[in-house]
Chain A
Amino acid sequence: MTTRAYLFAAIALVACGDPGQLGRSVVSPSDVTSKVALDKVPVKGAEIVIEQRSGARLSGELLAATDDSMTVLVGDSSVVRLRSSDVVRAIITRYENGALIAGLVLWSALGGLAGISHGFWLVVSEPIWGGISAGAIVPVAGDEKRFAYAGDRPTDFTYLHEYARFPQGLPPQYAARVH
């Protein structure tokens, strides 16, 4: 049981820790354009989770981003600006896969437990099932999010503005609310 717990924890860590790189301004791999109603086209910024150098985490809607700062709407009304140099990592949610990931993790856990019924062959089947589970969950989790990692490379934040509500920059009425 302990081994399985570690396995699933590892899967979860890997899934959360390597969500892929930013890059919205790339040509999509598909030539097929989906039909979307006009009023369904998103006009808000992406959900963003920011890990700060201080260790604090902040999440909200990305309002604007420049090379040296990012502005986030936290809750309904709090507008917070962070200097890029204070940010370790920013993770963007492209779309929500939480329910699917939870389902796959649960499926993986149940499959792992059911492996007990394999008796002696459990020593073979459990690692295989662990590999299948990891191979199934990690890409789904990784595809859900995109992240920019600053560290000593502030240029990693270059494309962050493309996920903001105001890619053109913060309008005056929001700039006045920054604190």
Chain B
Amino acid sequence: MRIAGAVACFALATSCSRTVYEAHFASPAQLSKITEAASRSPFIKCHMADGRVIVLEHWAIEEGTGIVDGFGIEYDADRHARSVAQHQQLALADVVLIETNRPYDVDIGTGSIVAMAIGTGVSLAVTAICLAPTGGNSVNKACFGSCPTFFADDGRAMALQAEGFSSSIARSLEATDVDAMWTARPKSRDFDVVMTNDALETHVVDSVRVLAATRPAGGRVLRAGGKYYGVANMRAPAYAVGGGRDVTELFAASDEREYKSLASATNLADRETVDVRFDVSTATGKAKRLGLLVVDRNSLLNTFLFYQALAFMGSRVGDWMTAIEKSGRETLGSVATMLGNIEVLAKDATGAFVHAGEVGEVGPIAREAELVVLPDGIVSLSAGHVDVRLSMVKGNWKIDQLALVDVGDALEPVALEPLWVTRDGKVDERALGALLDSKRHLVTQPGDAYTIHFRLPAGDQELFLESRGYYYEWMREEWLKEEDQLAALQLVMNPSAALKKLAPRFKAIEPDMDRIFWQSRVTR
């Protein structure tokens, strides 16, 4: 900012006006041609045959006498002054050429500087939106954090499909993550996945593979934990109630219209429930089991908590990361446990809601499609409908689609290794080698993008993205202002109290978090 200000000052100091000269030329014989110009000119130059020039002001030419009279300076051909300014008189006949000189100032650069100043002002305003404190919070915890993001063709363009190993925030937390590429629509068996680093993070990627499973006719393949099932006969909810309102339409399809509630103002661990009813009158009756498809992603609540934890750790974040490296997931696991997954409950024949399973993929960017298989015997079809309840932390999830599906046979997807990798349009053998060699990692920095090429099996394939690695979030200078080792310790040791204490701080920025988050994405 100081440099920009200095440049602006420099530009202003060197701008504004320059003096130029309106000049007209005539020989003494053609003097009448420049009479009008001469009358406006405070100076004339009398050019002599030997190269001298006499510059005159307060001058007059007496054509009758052939005398040029004025007050001026005579210069020799080398332009050394031969006299001080004094009264001069010379014969017009000795002058070869008369030149009038009228100086005037031209404005230079003022308009340019004003235009650039306005542009800079707008630019600073945009920057301020992203970086400046919001909602009374002195630290912006909403800036983009993404882990590796993966894009693939959805039939129209390269679309976001997955974000990898979001919870692997240190080397010891390196993990394998599988995400459904729910909207991927390969045009051929040659399939490209673009992996990007869009955040202020260092990504350390061990491997990227595509898991392909042949879809059943008219159906899809869904992942339930570590198992894969063919599913068919998707049914949208007959009705759904969440937050005291009818939200049926929000769950009808994966159309980016999401259900999201606001976090509690007093305790970020407060939970909510969403009740959903499915009509099963159209069920085929052939299905052995029913399942619930959930397409969802995180809100920015856990991103806020993660960044807040880093802010509290402040200058000692290195010590904390070392502790995390040594102790593993348990160090921060308690906070994650309190936020938890989306619990799916199903109403049994007695009318009680019983636990059926959980879904929950960490990450606020890409939507994940997961399956909860409803256990046999829990769901009564006799009433013609199935009731399920979702239980989750308020404001922690965005749910795009819910569907009841017939669950078919378990499937085993085929794991596909990358065939080649390109970066900036050039084949990158080093990157490919790192992804294929389990002892090496591909390290990426903000703005990096790699295109990873796969060859798909024949047939209609359901695709999943399997990625393994870990990442380190970059500390922001602004975060250091909030260093508070006791608060960091409380977040780890007593997350229940910390989530209550941090609730007002999160609520202050919650309305603006999404906007700021997406604006702060590092783009290529």
Contact A168 B49 (CB under 8 A): yes
Which residues of chain B are near A82, meaning CB under 8 Å? none
Of the residues B7, B79, B108, B130, contact of A165 by C-beta under 8 Å: B79
Instruction: Tell me the B252-309 residues at the A interface (CB within 8 Å).
Output: none
Tell yes or no: B333 within 8 A of A by CB: no
Which residues of chain A are near B518, meaning CB under 8 Å? 119-120
Contact A103 B10 (CB under 8 A): yes
Beyond A38-B85, A111-B116, A119-B523, whether A140 also contacts B105 by CB under 8 A is no
Interface string of A12-32 (1 = CB under 8 A from B): 000000000000111110101
How far does the Cβ of B126 sit from chain A's closest Cβ, in whole Å? 5
Q: How many residues of A contact B (CB 8 A)?
A: 61
Interface of A is mostly: helix
Stretch touching chain B among A51-59, A83-91, A124-132, A149-157: A124-132
Contact B521 A104 (CB under 8 A): no
Contact A100 B115 (CB under 8 A): no
Tell yes or no: B40 within 8 A of A by CB: yes
Contact B22 A166 (CB under 8 A): no
Contact A38 B522 (CB under 8 A): no
Interface residue tally on B, bucketed by range? 35 or more
Beyond A117-B130, A119-B144, whether A104 also contacts B4 by CB under 8 A is no
Contact A107 B108 (CB under 8 A): no
How far does the Cβ of A148 sit from chain B's closest Cβ, in whole Å? 16
Specify the chain B residue showing the minimal Cβ separation from A1: B447
Which residues of chain A are near B43, meaning CB under 8 Å? 36, 38, 41
Which residues of chain A are near B243, meaning CB under 8 Å? none
Contact B77 A171 (CB under 8 A): yes
Q: Give the CA-CA distance A2 to B124 in the complex, in Å.
A: 23
Q: Give the CA-CA distance A97 to B21 in the complex, in Å.
A: 16
Specify the chain A residue showing the minimal Cβ separation from B19: A34
Which residues of chain B are near A125, meaning CB under 8 Å? 123, 126
Of the residues A42, A106, A121, A140, contact of B108 by C-beta under 8 Å: A140
Interface string of A102-119 (1 = CB under 8 A from B): 011011101100111111
Which residues of chain A are near B522, meaning CB under 8 Å? 116, 119
Q: Give the CA-CA distance A96 to B13 in the complex, in Å.
A: 14
How far does the Cβ of B93 sit from chain A's closest Cβ, in whole Å? 14
Which residues of chain A are near B11, meaning CB under 8 Å? 100, 103-104, 107
Contact A120 B519 (CB under 8 A): yes
Which one of B3, B45, B47, B119 has the greatest number of beta carbons of chain A within 10 Å? B119
Name the 3 nearest CB pairs between A and B, nearest first: A171-B51, A136-B112, A103-B11
A30-B105, A132-B115, A167-B99 are known contacts; what are 7 more A-B pairs with Cβ within 8 Å? Answer: A27-B37, A36-B42, A94-B20, A103-B7, A120-B520, A133-B119, A136-B111
